[in-house]
């Protein structure tokens, strides 16, 4: 299914991943051009995704994705916001104000609906390299996820913990370091782990995935969710300062 993955290649995501938390951080004309190209590509892909999702029964879709079917609309939580997706045209809206979701968010939601097969959460954590096809791009993913998190919070673990709690993160005492789990979508769970630095060792961090995540999103899409989690943690930490 490599041809069905998100159109942007992983190695180009470093400048785009902040779109995953609804904002673009940094700058540069090259990043902006890449972002615009990705948006245009995703807009074209939406029609293909809608055609594929519309072949599925609405009731089964709702069950598989962990949402609920209300008046032929699928309702589910996406990054803590309640979203409604019309089964007739597969457009996505925020229930809070009725506004239509962005091209990016709509694309992510449609990929989620297309991939969802109802597999239960595995309650077992894996790294990006263990996802289907993830080994080749794992170093790039670490660069704009775990390395970025360690750079910002390596000497500020208390701020990291406050940021995680602001995002409704759940502490994971079974994992080493300072670890929290997050659920951007009903059947996709991520974890962030920070190993604070000291006099002997530099800070380290990583983003992990529930082992069932590939049943609900393409590997490229999971990279965007993972980097989006880091962006949200950084944004939440900045709000605390």
Contacts of 100 (CB under 8 A, 6+ apart): 91, 92, 93, 106
Q: How many Cα atoms are found within 13 Å in the side-chain-facing hemisphere of 139?
A: 1
DSSP 77-138: EETTEEEEEETTT--EEETTT-PBPPHHHHHHHHHHHHH---PPP---EE-GGGSTT-GGGH
Per-residue model confidence (pLDDT) at position 35: 58
pLDDT band at residue 197 using 50, 70 and 90 as cut-offs: confident
Model pLDDT for residues 165-195, shown as the tens digit of each residue: 999 999 999 999 999 999 999 999 999 999 9
Which residue do the tokens 């943690």 mark? 233
Let me know: does 110 contact 49? Beta carbons within 8 Å.
yes
Model pLDDT for residues 94-116, shown as the tens digit of each residue: 999 999 999 889 999 999 999 99
Residue 138 has pLDDT above 80, yes or no: yes
């Amino acid at each position: 299914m490599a041809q069905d993955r998100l159109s942007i290649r992983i190695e180009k995501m470093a400048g785009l991943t902040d779109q995953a938390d609804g904002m673009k951080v940094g700058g540069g004309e090259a990043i902006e051009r890449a972002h615009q190209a990705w948006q245009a590509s995703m807009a074209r892909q939406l029609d293909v995704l809608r055609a594929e999702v519309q072949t599925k029964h609405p009731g089964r879709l709702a069950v598989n994705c962990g949402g609920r079917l209300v008046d032929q609309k699928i309702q589910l939580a996406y990054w803590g916001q309640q979203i409604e997706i019309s089964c007739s045209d597969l457009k996505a809206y925020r229930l809070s104000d009725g506004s239509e979701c962005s091209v990016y968010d709509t694309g992510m939601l449609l990929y989620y609906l297309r991939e969802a097969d109802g597999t239960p959460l595995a309650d077992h954590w894996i790294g990006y390299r263990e996802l289907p096809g993830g080994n080749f791009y794992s170093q790039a993913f670490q660069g704009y996820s775990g390395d970025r998190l360690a750079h910002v919070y390596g000497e500020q673990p208390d701020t990291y913990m406050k940021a995680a709690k602001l995002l409704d993160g759940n502490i994971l005492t079974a994992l080493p370091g300072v670890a929290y789990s997050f659920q951007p979508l009903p059947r996709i769970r991520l974890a962030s782990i920070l190993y604070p630095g000291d006099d002997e060792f530099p800070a380290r961090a990583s983003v992990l995935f529930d082992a069932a995540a590939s049943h609900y999103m393409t590997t490229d899409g999971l990279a965007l969710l993972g980097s989006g989690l880091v962006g949200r943690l950084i944004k939440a930490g900045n709000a605390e300062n």
